[in-house]
Amino acid sequence: MPITTAFETKIEHISILDDKGNFDEKLGKGLIPDADLVKLYEAMVACRHLDEVAFRLQRSGRMGTYPQNMGQEATSLGAAYVLRKDDWLVTCYRENCGLFWRGVPKEAILLHWMGDERGNAMPRPHFATPIAVPLGTQMLHAAGLTLAAKYRGLDRIACTFFGDGASSEGDFHEACNFASTLEIPVVFVLQNNFWAISTPSTRNSAAPTFAQRGLSYGMPCLQVDGNDLFATVYATKLASEYTRKTNKPYFIEMVTYRLGDHTTADDAKRYREQAEVDMWKGRDPIMRIKNFMIARKLWDETKEAALLERVAVENSEAVARAENIATPHHDEFFDAMYEVLPADLVIQRDTMHTHSLGQDPSQLPAEARERAAQMSAAAANHH
């Protein structure tokens, strides 16, 4: 029998505004209106400034471990700009810029890293999931959310973000296979920042691209310059239109770089060469847009100074809101668990004990015993 080709493909790389200032007029024309470009640039600057503020908060003991976003602002922002307001934005922990564009308050992110659970209650109607610190779990959530939307007949897709390291997790493969075989509209965005904490990307894949990991699941795949805001907008637009039309997933590899440590608990100098970091600083997504806008007479240093002054005030106010939030009452832990709280948990809530008082309610004062009995009866009637 003759030998035939079972499968053949290619993966395109998209770059519209490179780090040398070269702009592809054909691909970039009309992609981002000038007024929107200014707003997007301001959003990136505000996010970068908040990174600096958060770093100081952590170092002064006012916040826990924090992962800086600097260098990766264009990936999530480009997606958030393209997606509809009711499409799901399913992030991990370095997508602040996209979340803020969606309208998520900055203090919500700060509260999360301060250890306050209220920071995870993403306010509606932003269609953004809480920050996902466990590696790779959010990809499964994205597939589940859009499966539910499809079941309900809703025109809604999800865009989920993860790193090169997370693509070696079983959750990644399960989510990709689930979305492909069941034809679920998910845009998978792999942010290849070359490091999974201290593990280089070459230890996570020997393939020439991470984009091709989507090929085994039958997805269209694309690689883009993740530090090029125009390219991330272009790619997300292409992918979202495809998924919405076909109900099938799409895979994008955004090549970017984290300019800071993995988190404030990390010291990247122990495993990264400074020359590598300096090279990527020259590819900074913020500087690209700034230089582009200056060349197009859309921006100048006077506007820059005014922006930095405004951003400093806004971020200071966000810190104040996070630090001055009212202390939660312990009842909230119990009351949020059930529609009708079981009687034994009523006792725990009222006594704040799980030992003898919880096991033997007869030790309680008569008033507390009566309240527990009423709650128990209400629970029984409810069910």
**Which residues have a catalytic role annotated?**
258, 262, 271
Q: Shortest CA distance to 139 belongs to which of 178, 192, 85, 102?
A: 178
**Which ranges of the chain does DSSP label H, i.e. alpha helix?**
25-28, 34-59, 73-82, 96-102, 106-113, 137-151, 170-181, 229-246, 274-281, 285-295, 301-323, 331-335, 343-351, 356-359, 366-382
Instruction: Give yes or no for a contact between 190 and 217, defined as CB atoms under 8 angstroms apart.
Output: no
Task: Using alpha carbons, list the distances in angstroms from residue 177 to 85, 184, 218, 249.
Answer: 26, 10, 9, 10
Instruction: Give yes or no for a contact between 95 and 75, defined as CB atoms under 8 angstroms apart.
Output: yes
CA distance 28 to 16: 6
Residue 142: Cβ-neighbour burial (10 angstroms; 0-12, 13-18, 19+): buried
The three-class DSSP label of residue 169 is coil
Q: Which two tokens stand for residue 43?
A: 């959003």
What percent helix, strand, coil does the chain show, rounded to 5? 50, 10, 40
